[in-house]
Amino acid sequence: MSSRTPDNTPSHRSTRSLRSRLRPPSAVRRPGLYLAAAAAGAVLIGTATTGGTPASAEPAAAVSVADQLGISAEAGASIEEQIAPLQNLAASRSERESAQIQATKAQRAADEAARQKAAEEAARKKKAAEKAAAKKAAAEKAAEEQAAREEADRQAAEEAAAAEADAAEPAPAAAAAPSGSYQDYAMSKLGGDSSEFSCLENLWGRESGWNPNAQNPSSTAYGIPQFLDSTWAGTGIAKTSDGYRQIDAGLIYIDSRYGSPCGAWSHSKSTGWY
């Protein structure tokens, strides 16, 4: 008969209760479990890197990581359960980082595409504005040229119309040539003043006898008024044989020099010349 105390004996129950009170809480045990898991991983890596046992060595009996660490099977399963969330957390973090990198790349690509599109749109608008400005300048230039041509045509038409009007307008009748005696012509030039004509008739009667061809043999005195060549130049009328023009020149000279025929006649009577 065995002397081992059954598990359900009071003594055994007291022992388990005491162990439970002495075992630290699970929150305190977890770091130990994590260290145990890390140690187990190190053992597995060491075993893998050693290349296994030599061919001549006898195969070793399979020993679990939990056995190597002196951990019970139940404790090993508990460690794996506690490590699994950490592995999931690491995988989730890696996925988030990868997703964030992909999102950053996508955002950069979108920003670059938007920038390129904006640059292309700005270039298109600039080209369109330059084309519109060139078209406007060409239209303004064409309008200016058209206006210049129209103005030139208008002026040409006005000149042509004026020329036609001048050609159609009858030329003014030529002034009637003087007629009658030189004395009658002189009277008309004096406005019918008989007293002034009487002085003029005496003056030129003594000078030339009213002969338009009278020539002084000792000087250049010529014509009805007996003007010297220098005197003709002062009247604005060239020396001429036309008696009527000679009367015009004589009256101009008398008017500018003596004021009237009677003044010239008075001077001639006192000096013998005028």
Task: Please report, to the nearest 10 degrees, the dihedral formed by the alpha carbons of residues 43, 46, 52, 56 taken in order.
Answer: -90
Burial 150-187 (b: 16+ CB within 10 A, else e): eeeeeeeeeeeeeeeeeeeeeeeeeeeebeeebeebbb
Set out the domains of the chain in order of their start, with CATH numbers: 182-271 (1.10.530)
Q: What is the pLDDT of residue 159?
A: 84
| Rounded-to-integer distance, Cα 265 and Cα 200, Å | 7
Q: How many CB atoms lie within 10 A of CB 30?
A: 14
Q: What is the pLDDT of residue 75?
A: 54
| 179-213 tens-digit pLDDT | 789 999 999 999 999 999 999 999 999 999 999 99
Q: Enumerate long-range contacts of 89-96, CB under 8 Å, 24 or more apart.
A: none
Q: What is the pLDDT of residue 48?
A: 41
* Average pLDDT of the residues in 172-183: 72
Task: Please report, to the nearest 10 degrees, the dihedral formed by the alpha carbons of residues 218, 221, 225, 229 taken in order.
Answer: -170
Collapsed DSSP state (helix, strand, coil) of residue 22: helix
| 206-261 tens-digit pLDDT | 999 999 999 999 999 999 999 999 999 889 999 999 999 999 999 999 999 999 99
Q: What is the pLDDT of residue 267?
A: 94
Least confident of 32-36, 65-69, 83-87, 248-252: 32-36
Instruction: Tell me: pLDDT of 2 over 60.
Output: no
